[in-house]
Amino acid sequence: MKIKFMYNGIKIDGKLYKAFYSFGGFNTPEDKETITIYRKGYDRTPAIEGLFCENKTDIQTDYIEEDLIRVRTSNKHYQDVLAAFKKQDAKRIERGNKLALKYPGLYKKVEA
């Protein structure tokens, strides 16, 4: 299985599973730098060795949830996920700055 963490998702064997990344937000010291991957779409994420995919969907109560994966600093994929998060963040800033040029009254330019 070939896995690549992209700024817009996870590419597994050439197929992109769209996702976005979130950094930190936890109170415990070991989890302060945890990165959470939130999948977009309701199709299941294939099993990735070393990562646990969380999904609490309950069909009986009509509660449907997208997959999420938490990646701690001790995980072997952490550096690749961190690089994807940084690229996502850079693209977000770039996109925001384009909007700031187009609509200066609505958006402010952000320095990276």
The reply to whether 112 falls in a domain is no
Q: What percent of the chain stands above pLDDT 70?
A: 88
pLDDT tens figures, 25-74: 776 777 778 999 988 877 778 888 888 887 766 667 766 667 888 898 89
Range of the domain at 74: 3-102
**Taking the C-alpha atoms of 47, 50, 55 and 60 in order, what is their torsion angle to the nearest 10 degrees?**
60
The reply to whether 55 falls in a domain is yes
The whole-number pLDDT of residue 78 equals 94
Q: How far apart are CA 29 and CA 82, in angstroms?
A: 18
Q: Which has the higher per-residue pLDDT, 97 or 60?
A: 97
Number of folded domains in the chain?
1
pLDDT at 79 exceeding the cut of 90: yes
